[in-house]
Chain A
Amino acid sequence: MKLDFEHIPAGHCENGVISSLLKYHGLNLSEAMIFGIGSGYFFAYMPFVKLNGIPIASFRPVPGMIFTKAAKRLGIKMKKQTFRKQPKRAMAELDKVLEKKLPVGIQGGVYHLSYFTPAYRFHFNAHNMAVYGKEDNTYFISDPVMEYAITLTSVELKKVRFAKGPLSPNGKMYYPINIPEEIDLKSAIYKGIKQTADWMLTIPVPLFGVKGIRYLSKRLRKWPEKLGTKRAAAYLAQMVRMLEEIGTGGAGFRFIYAAFLQEVAEVMQDDRYNELSKEMTKIGDKWRNFSSQAAQTCKGRSSDPDGYNTVANLILEIADDEERFFIEIKKLIK
């Protein structure tokens, strides 16, 4: 049994899955729209949160939040289930929902994804994909970060759903059970933008939003002296991976947000959002420039002997730009 489900490649897995699931039920909202409404844009630098012993910067809120917020703001009811230490029940429940002709979103770990490029197979557990059918022991899977739809065997899928470690999915699955006839898109958009602007400008802890970007800049400048060349390069490399490696659509989601703003301009019939989209594109281009220079610095190929100071300065400039951007956008949603 294979549902008539369209595989749509997306920049980011969480938004991509929701967008595809809703499309199956007849509601056309792009990945970018879900991202904006769900307040997916973010920045956090918490030096004590580490992956492979190296601090991570996050360009999005905690996994699952975009999805929860977007659904709530659109008035969509989702069924969510987790199955702690019950893999058999988790698989049986998935089959049961598929039998009802409903595609299902699942959370999984990427380490066990046989179809992934080995280069990306780290122990990262907040990946999302949609399951849209089953024949014998094979599941049909739409993983938004893949170019084409793929399959997993039942044994593989169970491993993916019960990956261990931080953010372990515990078999998490979700699917829409009620989509309202009329959706107040404008109100949902306003709420999404407002929350993002607040997060970026007003969280009173200096690790988040624009303040967090400035904090990263300050810390990053000291890495070579504090950690030595090799370790500093590993830290900087991880920043670039967070910005660009699978699932951000480029520049740590900044380009997806720019795409969202273009859609907002149309919904609101307000060209000022197009202007802001252009500003956001410039911000994204600056992050890309940061990634490019940072990678050269990591590799020791930078012609700039003072590579860390240079990239730290780039980030400071971005912090100023993002601050100005969100002050401006806040004026539009009053």
Chain B
Amino acid sequence: MEKDKVPQDEGITAGISREVQYAINKDGKYEKVLSKGWEPKNIVNELAWKDIQEDIDLADEKIKSGKASPIMHYMAKTLMNITLLADYIELPKWKVKRHLKPKGFKKLKQEQLENYAKVFEISVDELLNFKP
């Protein structure tokens, strides 16, 4: 790619950083050029986040219909699955699965609630009072 063709499409990194792109200058030599972004990258990144939003919406529906606990919302929001969440909470997966149900959630002790809240970077109140 030639230096003057390095795309400068503002998008996902706007206002935060520019990224290094290797490109050929007028003398035919490679150099590092800073790029503001590229539209195809914006498209695929947005798509990935749209899927995450759908996961959150799905979790919220389950919570509304009484099939899931607030943990499911925050798990989706922090882009985790059960394996990763169990890893952070330092509990076996089957226990986390239980806490994802309203019944198991109600039985959580203060200490465990604090643990979840800490991992999700929210307060215990926010976790307990979450309404989708």
Residues of chain A touching chain B, judged by Cβ–Cβ distance below 8 Å, are 9-11, 32, 52-53, 111, 115-117, 119-120, 122-123, 145-148, 164-165, 168, 233-234, 237-238, 240-241, 244-246, 249-251, 255-256, 258-259, 262, 277, 281, 284-285, 288, 291-292, 294-296, 298-299
Of residues 107 to 130 in B, which have CB atoms within 8 Å of A's CB atoms? none
19 contacting pairs across A/B (C-beta < 8 A): A9-B32, A9-B34, A10-B20, A11-B20, A11-B32, A32-B30, A52-B48, A123-B79, A145-B17, A164-B84, A234-B48, A238-B44, A245-B41, A249-B22, A281-B24, A284-B1, A292-B40, A295-B40, A295-B41
Question: Known interface pairs A245-B45, A299-B43. Does A164 touch B38 (Cβ–Cβ under 8 Å)?
Answer: no
Chain B residue nearest in CB terms to A258: B30
Q: Which of B13-27 contact A (CB under 8 A)?
A: 13, 16-24
Chain B residues closer than 8 Å to A145, beta-carbon distance: 17, 19-20
A9-B34, A146-B17, A147-B17 are contacts. A237–B22 as well, Cβ < 8 Å? no
Tell me if B16 and A238 are in contact (CB < 8 A): no
Contact A295 B84 (CB under 8 A): no
Q: Which residues of A contact B24 (CB under 8 A)?
A: 281
Chain B residues whose CB sits within 8 angstroms of the CB of A9 once the complex forms:
20, 32, 34
Pairs of residues from A and B, 4 with the lowest C-beta to C-beta distance, nearest first: A295-B40, A259-B30, A255-B22, A119-B12
CA gap between A294 and B38 in the complex, in Å: 13
**Is the pair A111, B79 in contact by a Cβ cutoff of 8 Å?**
yes
* Contact among B13, B48, B79 for A117, CB-based, below 8 A: B13
B80 at the interface (CB under 8 A from A): yes
B25 to chain A, nearest CB (A): 11
The minimal Cβ–Cβ distance linking B62 to chain A, given in whole angstroms, is 18
Query: Which residues of the partner chain A approach B1 to less than 8 Å between Cβ atoms?
Result: 250-251, 255, 281, 284-285, 288
- What chain B residues lie within 8 Å of A111 (beta carbons)? 79
Q: Given the known A-B contacts A240-B44, A281-B1, are A249 and B87 also in contact in the complex, defined by CB atoms under 8 Å? A: no
**B20 to A249, Cβ gap below 8 A?**
yes
- CB of B48 within 8 A of CB of A256, answer no
Kindly identify which residue among A122, A255, A277, A292 contacts B23, using a CB–CB cutoff of 8 Å. A255
Q: Separation in Å of the B4 CB from the closest CB of chain A?
A: 14
Instruction: Please report which residues of chain B, range 29-43, place their CB below 8 angstroms from some CB of chain A when the two chains form the complex.
Output: 29-30, 32, 34, 38-41, 43
Looking at chain B, what size class is its interface with the partner chain?
A: 20 to 34
Question: Interface residues, chain B, CB within 8 Å of chain A?
Answer: 1, 12-13, 16-24, 29-30, 32, 34, 38-41, 43-45, 47-49, 51, 79-81, 83-84, 87-88
Q: How far is the CB of B109 from chain A (nearest CB, A)?
A: 22
In the bound assembly, the distance between CA atoms of A10 and B31 in angstroms comes to 11
Instruction: Choose among B20, B21, B44 the residue that contacts A298 (Cβ–Cβ < 8 A).
Output: B44
Question: A240 touches which one: B21, B22, B40, B88 (CB < 8 A)?
Answer: B40
| Bound CA–CA A9/B31 (angstroms) | 12
Cβ B38 vs Cβ A258 within 8 A: no
Quick check: A256 and B40 within 8 Å, CB to CB?
no
CA distance A251 to B18 in the complex (A): 17
Q: How far is the CA of A246 from the CA of B18 in the complex (A)?
A: 10
Q: How far is the CB of B39 from chain A (nearest CB, A)?
A: 7
Quick one: closest A residue to B33, CB to CB? A250
Cα A233 to Cα B41 with chains together (Å):
14
Instruction: Determine which of A255, A285, A299 lies in contact with B21 in the assembled complex, contact meaning CB atoms within 8 Å.
Output: A255
B44 touches A295 (CB 8 A): yes
| Bound complex: CA A243 to CA B44 (Å) | 11
Known: A255-B23, A281-B24. Contact between A237 and B47, CB under 8 A?
yes
Per the bound structure, the CA–CA distance linking A165 and B88 in Å amounts to 8
What distance in Å separates the Cβ of A245 from its nearest Cβ neighbour in chain B? 6
Which residues of B lie under 8 Å from residue A255 when comparing CB positions? 1, 21-23, 30
Q: A234-B51, A244-B40 are in contact. List 5 more A-B contacts (CB 8 A).
A: A32-B30, A146-B17, A241-B44, A249-B20, A281-B1
What residue in chain B is nearest A166 (Cβ atoms)?
A: B84
Contact A262 to B41, CB < 8 A, known contacts A11-B22, A249-B22: no
Minimum CB–CB distance from A246 to chain B (whole Å) comes to 6
What residues of A have a CB within 8 angstroms of the CB of B19 in the complex? 145, 246
Q: Bound state CA distance, A164 and B84, in angstroms?
A: 7
- On whether the beta carbons of B80 and A123 are closer than 8 Å, the reply is yes
